[in-house]
A and B are shown apart, each in its own frame.
Chain A
Amino acid sequence: MKGNEVIAEAAIQAGCRFYAGYPITPQNEIPEYMSWRMPEAGGVFIQAESELAAINMVYGAAAAGTRAMTSSSSPGISLKTEGISYLAGAELPAVIVNVQRGGPGLGNISGSQADYFQAVKGGGHGDYKLLVYAPFNLQEMWDLTMLAFDKADEYRNPVMILTDGVIGQMIEPLYPTPYVRPELPEKDWILDGCKNREPRMIKSLYMGEGELEMRNLILQRKYEKMREKEVKFVGYHVEDSEVLVVAFGIAARIALSSVRRLRRDGFKVGLFRPVTLFPFPEKELSMLAEENRRFITIEMNAGQMVEDVKLAINGKSKVLFYGRPGGSIFTPEEVQEKIQQSLNYQPHLAKTNLIL
């Protein structure tokens, strides 16, 4: 199974019974898999006329209380952002998968991490947040997809799986752990006809004096709760590290090979890998900030997560960056070299922020 298919099957096993999507490389395996697997599982598969339609179909299915998902790659996610903002405003649970490719514009079809800002800073209009998971292997594609459906229901909020063309296309072994449904609140808000109850509405329009501010504050409290309870990260050789690499998703996977090699050669380097991008493991990173430890953020973009790393470190340590934009993928050797350079990096010798 490819990474994309792992996501699709995990969704089915987590009880997803509605999928709508539109073809775009490198995520086509998801709609293709869903086209036969979803009907087999008794659910609905629709190839929509556009990403706009797909996300709004998901919006409708979510309002009916069905676990619903859509997937796309970068340009298609841009189209979905209107609908994602409405999902957030109307507090509807849904899972959105972004198998990122290079941008801007039509870009290319190679794996990329250039949609970090779009995923964690809102993307669409209004003050909203998605819970964002960044899997770095197929096991996490499986586990985090299942978790995404539970968290979407728990918080009544859209959840994004932010992956990329490399992991989406990758094949490797995994343990397909069975889905165990947690205790979740009853969906007492769905629209299924007002039989034996008062009519309900689901909306995001609040025109009354101060009404929308109130709504926003409720949403913000929800996001605060996510910040308190949902942070996930993994550290590798963190404690005694002199250089701590910060990377997520595919970049973290490549960086981990580099870090392990350097450790073998006696270098004190470690890796800090955020698994949730929102909420960002801000406190955890800031606790690691020390004068004699430097950080290097490695991303497959021109420098996005590094801004959050800098905010967390808040000037207490040096934060460097190495990235390749435009869907270019670095090798472990290349990253290893950059980490080594960062050990004796001298700011005044650096030409650009982009490449050390």
Chain B
Amino acid sequence: MKKIFKRPISLKQVPFRFCPGCGHSLIHRLIAECIDNLGIRERVVGIAPVGCAVFAYDYFNFDILEAPHGRPPATATGLKRAMPDRIIFTYQGDGDLAAIGTAEIIHAANRGENISVFFVNNATYGMTGGQMAPTTLPGQKTTTTPSGRNTKTAGFPLRVSELLSTIEGASYIVRTSVDSYKNLINTKRAIEKSFRYQIEERGFSLVEILSPCPVDWGFTPKDSIIWLRKEMMSVYPLGTLKDKFKGKNKWKKELL
């Protein structure tokens, strides 16, 4: 009998320690599967952010560098420029990428750094206990917006992918989600495409992934999926925001 579902080699043989229903474990798995599929495990260096994904080195079975909060795009720039033939990706939360690291992500995109960025948008600061993130929805309750985000004083949800898609240096910007089987497949496609762009030296790509954080949202895992679909997706519509090489993907058919 042929085994059709197994643990990717790019994941270590250890259980994830994320909360039940957390999107991070799914996203780790998808990245690992793509790296296996492309046969690039021995060429990859991943960058762990400061956030719930900081323990990436416990799970990924390849080289991992931990970077200061928000700085992974700069760190990735250093790694990639020093070793242009290696595959470099950053894995960043919304606090990491869209608040403290806003300058780093914008300028890495603007330089067209040939790196892959996986941006996990869970509309909150997971690791520090559920404070407001720049991506938090209007009215959303967090520990620092106890009566809901007031856009008059706390600003609006920041649509980073839309912002980055206006930057000339960026090649591929897409928003996906992990709420359904279909969207998991689309996310995997996007991650793989991002790696392929990097392999083909097509420059900067970013995959934003809407991801549930049931614990800090205060929902059950199941209700989190419903909230993500209903509330998050209306503020953060899924789809490709930019693709400089649209229609020029020879390898399109063999994807997945």
Q: Which residues of A contact B (CB under 8 A)?
A: 17-18, 20, 44, 46, 48-50, 52-54, 56-66, 68, 82-83, 86, 90, 191-196, 199-205
In the assembly, what is the distance between CA of A50 and CA of B107, in Å? 10
- The answer on a CB contact under 8 Å between B75 and A60 is yes
B165 on interface, CB distance cutoff 8 Å: no
User: Which residue from chain B places its CB closest to the CB of A207 in the assembled complex?
Assistant: B55
Beyond A60-B77, A60-B78, is A50–B103 a contact (Cβ under 8 Å)? yes
A-B CB contact pairs (8 Å), 19 listed: A46-B81, A46-B111, A53-B77, A56-B75, A58-B78, A59-B74, A60-B75, A61-B81, A63-B65, A64-B45, A64-B78, A65-B82, A86-B67, A90-B66, A192-B63, A193-B62, A194-B62, A199-B60, A203-B57
B120 on interface, CB distance cutoff 8 Å: no
- The answer on a CB contact under 8 Å between B82 and A199 is no
Beyond A193-B42, A201-B63, is A53–B81 a contact (Cβ under 8 Å)? no
Q: Which residues of B contact A (CB under 8 A)?
A: 41-45, 47-48, 54, 57, 60-68, 71, 74-83, 86-87, 103-104, 106-107, 111
- Which of B43, B64, B77 gathers most chain A CB within 10 Å? B77
CB distance from B168 to the nearest CB of A (A): 16
- The answer on a CB contact under 8 Å between A193 and B81 is no
CB distance from B157 to the nearest CB of A (A): 24
With a cutoff of 8 Å between Cβ atoms, the chain A residues found around residue B74 in the complex are 48, 52-54, 56-57, 59-60
With a cutoff of 8 Å between Cβ atoms, the chain A residues found around residue B44 in the complex are 193
With a cutoff of 8 Å between Cβ atoms, the chain A residues found around residue B63 in the complex are 191-194, 199-201
CB distance from B212 to the nearest CB of A (A): 24
Query: Pick the contact of A18 from B64, B65, B81, B111 — CB < 8 Å?
Result: B81
Beyond A59-B78, A201-B63, is A193–B68 a contact (Cβ under 8 Å)? no
CB distance from A139 to the nearest CB of B (A): 31
In the assembly, what is the distance between CA of A325 and CA of B136, in Å? 47
CB distance from B137 to the nearest CB of A (A): 29
CB distance from A252 to the nearest CB of B (A): 35
- The answer on a CB contact under 8 Å between A205 and B78 is no
In the assembly, what is the distance between CA of A335 and CA of B149, in Å? 61
User: Which residue from chain B places its CB closest to the CB of A199 in the assembled complex?
Assistant: B62
With a cutoff of 8 Å between Cβ atoms, the chain B residues found around residue A86 in the complex are 67-68
Query: Pick the contact of B82 from A48, A49, A64 — CB < 8 Å?
Result: A64
With a cutoff of 8 Å between Cβ atoms, the chain A residues found around residue B75 in the complex are 56-57, 59-60, 63
In the assembly, what is the distance between CA of A204 and CA of B57, in Å? 12
With a cutoff of 8 Å between Cβ atoms, the chain A residues found around residue B76 in the complex are 60
- Which of A90, A192, A196 gathers most chain B CB within 10 Å? A192
With a cutoff of 8 Å between Cβ atoms, the chain B residues found around residue A62 in the complex are 78
With a cutoff of 8 Å between Cβ atoms, the chain B residues found around residue A193 in the complex are 42-45, 62-63, 86-87
Beyond A199-B63, A203-B66, is A53–B104 a contact (Cβ under 8 Å)? yes
- The answer on a CB contact under 8 Å between A56 and B68 is yes
CB distance from B123 to the nearest CB of A (A): 24
With a cutoff of 8 Å between Cβ atoms, the chain B residues found around residue A199 in the complex are 60-64
- The answer on a CB contact under 8 Å between B65 and A194 is no
User: Which residue from chain B places its CB closest to the CB of A200 in the assembled complex?
Assistant: B63
CB distance from A79 to the nearest CB of B (A): 11
Query: Pick the contact of B66 from A20, A44, A204 — CB < 8 Å?
Result: A204
With a cutoff of 8 Å between Cβ atoms, the chain A residues found around residue B48 in the complex are 203
- Which of A49, A191, A192, A204 gathers most chain B CB within 10 Å? A191
User: Which residue from chain A places its CB closest to the CB of B54 in the assembled complex?
Assistant: A205
With a cutoff of 8 Å between Cβ atoms, the chain B residues found around residue A53 in the complex are 71, 74, 77, 103-104, 107
User: Which residue from chain A places its CB closest to the CB of B56 in the assembled complex?
Assistant: A201
With a cutoff of 8 Å between Cβ atoms, the chain A residues found around residue B67 in the complex are 56, 59-60, 86
User: Which residue from chain B places its CB closest to the CB of A57 in the assembled complex?
Assistant: B78
User: Which residue from chain A places its CB closest to the CB of B111 in the assembled complex?
Assistant: A46
With a cutoff of 8 Å between Cβ atoms, the chain A residues found around residue B42 in the complex are 193-196
User: Which residue from chain A places its CB closest to the CB of B69 in the assembled complex?
Assistant: A82
CB distance from A20 to the nearest CB of B (A): 7
- The answer on a CB contact under 8 Å between A61 and B64 is no
Beyond A48-B74, A56-B68, is A192–B86 a contact (Cβ under 8 Å)? yes
- Which of A17, A54, A199 gathers most chain B CB within 10 Å? A199
- The answer on a CB contact under 8 Å between A202 and B66 is yes
- The answer on a CB contact under 8 Å between A56 and B71 is yes
CB distance from B126 to the nearest CB of A (A): 16
